[in-house]
Structure 1
């Protein structure tokens, strides 16, 4: 008996369909994984920006309080906030760090004397990943977040 009425898929057609479906699924999975990676990095950046803002606000509040009492030197203000000056750093700027306050971040505060007005200080708060910074004086990586402000504090 002859079978001329064969219906179904050949092995080549099944393999071709499997390859096409695999390519489509790999594309979608790559898209999902990259999206997840971008979300994680964005969260880290937002957290670091919040840390920088929080530190800048605490420095500003301390400057305002010390200005009222007349004892507003940046060294006193930052030591009150548990920053310690990096002795190995060259001036300018004067660099302070607080690497104990946050678990995965190093907060570095750089203080520059304003060139135009002597009682103003440019204060830059930078937040680095603790695992990537070996020496806060010479960070080899870009900060996760950075903020700068000008404050009146006499030294």
Structure 2
């Protein structure tokens, strides 16, 4: 029986074409499924990076507004924003409401500053929104209430 097994092993010349094709099919199925995972991972990574960049942009702008509120009155702060390439997009109604926009290389930044209540002259609700380059999708948003220095 042992010699019979040896003779059978010696008589086999190699793998058949069918065995090679089956192994290629199995290998290709595995590779295609792995490639779909990689492409999905790349898309998720890109989306996360865009959100992170937009959030950083909103946070940076909010910190600049906070510093302006500590150093300047609301009118001086709006002037400072305009000096930093922000443009009024909606006519402001005196000292109560401001809407400013600025385009950067990758985002649109909008800043809305509205007086909270008529009784509280120095408190303003500040809303910073960051949109994509086409201004179609909101990427990040931050809101706070700042006390602006009196004139």
TM over 0.5: yes
Following superposition, the deviation at residue 107 of structure 1 comes to: 0.7
Alignment gaps of 5+ in structure 2: 1-7
Structure number having the greater helix percentage = 2
Once residues 29 and 117 of structure 1 are traced to their aligned partners in structure 2, the CA distance between those partners, rounded to angstroms, is 61
Structure 2: how far apart are the matches of 1:72 and 1:127? 22
Secondary structure of the corresponding residue to residue 12 of structure 2: coil
Aligned to 1:30: 36
The reply to whether residue 145 of structure 1 matches residue 140 of structure 2 is yes
CA distance in 2, matches of 1:19, 1:38: 29
Deviations 1:68-116 (A, max 9, x none): xxx3336335324431111379xx96421011xx211111112233148
- Rate the CA distance shift 1:53–1:123 in 2: closer, same or farther, 3 A: same
- SS of 2:128 mapped into structure 1: strand
Whole-angstrom distance in 2 between the partners of 1:18 and 1:121: 67
1:36–1:122: structure 2 CA closer, same or farther, 3 Å change rule?
same
Which one has a bigger Cα radius of gyration?
A: 2
Counterpart of 1:137 in structure 2 is none
Kept after mapping to 2: 8 A contact 1:59/1:81:
no
Which runs of structure 2 are paired with 1:1-80 in the superposition (5 Å)?
A: 5-66=11-72, 71-73=73-75, 75-80=78-83
Q: Deviations over 1:51-77 (max 9, x none)?
A: 1111111111111101xxxx3336335
Separation in structure 2 between the aligned mates of residue 56 and residue 16 of structure 1, nearest angstrom: 60
Please, what TM-score do these two structures have when normalized by structure 2? 0.75
Aligned length: 137
Equivalence for 1:107:
109
